[in-house]
């Protein structure tokens, strides 16, 4: 049984808490938040203990895993503090929500602290666990679109409103580029390899806190062109679409279903009648958040390396920060 200490009791922490409740070898032991009433409400729901002091939580519950789900700028503090006490308390691994951190320097501090402690650090890039996205990667790798030429992703919805309206504060959230389309930067890098050049246009900080919008062009080292659109200016609801074109075909899907719903992706042949070759629907209906956390716990129990490494989290932040720099300077950024 893996005992989990959860940092944060907001939206994403609530999702993670529900996942631990459903994972057989997990027990949510403690929930920490700066708002005692929030920690009490979430801990109470799952029979865990509420905390407002991190060191007290660690000392009392001696967790196997610390899972950091508070707003982005504080990921670094909790990860470093947990890593520093890991050997004394028997902590086996740390997970942090995306984006890994607000700056590359913070990513480096997290990586260094976990390396020093010999501790796995998992960055929860959940899109890799969405079946349509993992299937699309497999289709690309199998050569079913031929040599990829371009990939377009669009992700977004209304401006998120949460604790202290922190998403609307660029200094804390990094806007839609760092917070939202980092999902796509990670999946794209996982699927198409390293990015060499970034050019972006966007509203930047000028329209926050009402909305944010960005259009990012990526050039991958393999020659693929990426076109990544992110919006917090769409009051019509959250939507995600993907289109991958290559000399062997076109793969497109629309992921606008509730989490866990079956999906359908269409792969159209590059030549001949465009009848469409259906790829299988997901028979599982598994919650991707549960899949990612179960994967990390399973790796810790087996002593296996998790599928997302700290360096992956850092590289996604690097692409996002390059896009923000490009929006601010009007110039392309070479990575
Ligand atoms: N993977 C995903 O799909 C996904 C979705 C949403 C958010 N996120 C990420 O999850 C993280 C949390 O976002 P959220 O939407 O849950 O935010 P939220 O505002 O809903 O919740 C944040 C919680 O953290 C608490 N908090 C604030 N400062 C704190 C601190 N210093 N220490 C401890 N607790 C503190 C707040 O009281 C609040 O309860 C962010 O990094 C965000 O980018 C990921």
Of 20, 265, 266, 305, nearest to 131 by C-alpha is 265
For residue 308, the CA-to-ligand 1 centroid distance in Å is 20
pTM: 0.94
Cα-atom radius of gyration of the chain, to the nearest Å? 20
Q: What is the largest CA-CA distance in the chain?
A: 66
pLDDT at 137: 97
- Which stretches in the chain have pLDDT values below 70? 257-285
All domains of the chain, ordered by start, with CATH? 2-124 (3.40.50.720), 127-286+317-334 (3.30.360.10)
Cβ(163) – ligand 1 distance below 6 Å: yes
33 Cα: distance to centroid of ligand 1 (angstroms): 10
User: Does ligand 1 have an atom closer than 6 angstroms to the CB of 178?
Assistant: no
Helix pair 104-117, 75-84: axis angle to 10 deg: 20
Using CA atoms, how far apart are residues 189 and 311, in angstroms rounded to an integer?
12
The answer, yes or no, to whether any atom of ligand 1 lies below 6 A from the CB of 71, is yes
Give CA–CA dist 148/6, Å, rounded. 40
What is the chain's percent helix, strand, coil content, to nearest 5? 40, 25, 35
220 CA distance to ligand 1 centroid (A)?
A: 31
Q: Is there an atom of ligand 1 within 6 Å of 7 CB?
A: yes
Cis amide linkage into residue 325, ω under 30° from 0: no
**Length in residues, the chain:** 335
Residue 71 CA to ligand 1 centre (angstroms) = 4
Burial class (CB in 10 A: 0-12, 13-18, 19+), 131: buried
Atom 5 (ligand 1) nearest CA: 12
Predicted pLDDT at 204: 86
Q: What is the 8-class DSSP label of residue 308?
A: S
Q: Give yes or no for residue 50 CB within 6 A of ligand 1.
A: no
Pocket test for ligand 1, best of 5, 6, 7, 8 (most atoms within 8 A of CB): 8
Tell me, using a 6 A CB cutoff, whether residue 98 lines ligand 1: yes
* Centre of ligand 1 from the C-alpha of residue 175, in Å: 14
| Alpha-carbon dihedral angle through residues 290, 296, 298, 303, given to the nearest 10 degrees | 180
Q: Separation of 143 CA from ligand 1 center, angstroms?
A: 38
Measured distance CA(109)–CA(129) in Å, rounded: 27
């Amino acid at each position: 049984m893996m005992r989990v200490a959860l940092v944060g009791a907001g939206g994403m922490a609530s999702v993670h808490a529900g996942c631990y409740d459903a994972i057989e070898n997990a027990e949510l032991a403690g929930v920490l938040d700066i708002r005692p009433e929030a920690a009490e409400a979430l801990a109470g729901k799952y029979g865990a203990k509420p905390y407002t002091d991190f060191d007290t939580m660690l000392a009392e519950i001696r967790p196997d895993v610390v899972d950091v789900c508070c707003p982005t700028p504080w990921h670094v503090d909790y990860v470093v503090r947990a890593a520093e006490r890991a050997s004394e308390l028997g902590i086996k691994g740390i997970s942090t929500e995306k984006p890994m951190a607000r700056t590359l320097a913070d990513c480096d501090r997290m990586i260094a602290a976990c390396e020093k402690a010999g501790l796995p650090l998992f960055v929860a890039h959940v899109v890799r666990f969405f079946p349509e996205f993992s299937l699309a990667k497999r289709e690309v790798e199998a050569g079913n679109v031929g040599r990829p030429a371009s990939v377009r992703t669009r992700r977004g919805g209304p401006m998120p409103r949460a604790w202290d309206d922190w998403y609307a504060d660029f200094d804390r959230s990094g806007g839609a580029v760092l917070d939202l389309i980092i999902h796509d930067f990670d999946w794209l890098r996982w699927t198409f390899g390293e990015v060499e050049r970034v050019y972006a246009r966007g509203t930047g900080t000028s329209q926050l806190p009402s909305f944010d919008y960005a259009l990012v062009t990526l050039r991958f080292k393999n020659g693929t062109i990426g076109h990544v659109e992110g919006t917090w200016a769409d009051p019509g609801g959250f939507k995600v679409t993907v289109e991958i074109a290559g000399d062997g075909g076109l793969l497109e899907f629309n992921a606008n279903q509730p989490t866990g719903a079956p999906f359908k992706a269409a792969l159209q042949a590059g030549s001949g009648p465009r009848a469409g070759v259906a790829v299988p629907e997901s028979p599982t209906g598994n919650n991707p958040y549960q899949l990612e956390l179960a994967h990390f716990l399973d790796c810790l129990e087996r002593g296996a390396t998790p599928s997302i490494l700290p360096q992956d989290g850092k590289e996604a932040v690097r692409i996002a920060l390059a896009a923000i720099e490009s929006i601010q300077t009007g110039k392309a950024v070479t990575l």
